[in-house]
Amino acid sequence: MVSGRINSPASIRIASDVVRAFGGSWEAVERASTVDADGVHVIRRSDIERARRGETVDRR
């Protein structure tokens, strides 16, 4: 699990990489994520890798 400040350079870089893996679509990221009890979108690392390979990921 990655931890740190929400707006740290590292967290912004990770978020950018995740959105890029999903073709630049925040909507695709949301479809691939689940929402935990705190309302945080959680995406499996394996789903990010699948998206990078061009596979469709939809957990909703």
Q: What is the pLDDT of residue 40?
A: 86
User: Do residues 59 and 32 touch, judged by C-beta distance below 8 A?
Assistant: yes
Q: What is the pLDDT of residue 41?
A: 86
| Weakly modelled stretches of the chain, pLDDT under 50 | none
CA torsion angle 26 27 29 35 (round to 10): 110
The string of DSSP letters for the chain reads: ---S-TTSHHHHHHHHHHHHHTTT-HHHHHHH-EE-TTS-EE--HHHHHHHHTT------
Q: What is the pLDDT of residue 50?
A: 94
CB half-sphere exposure, 39, CA atoms < 13 A? 0
Q: What is the pLDDT of residue 2?
A: 56
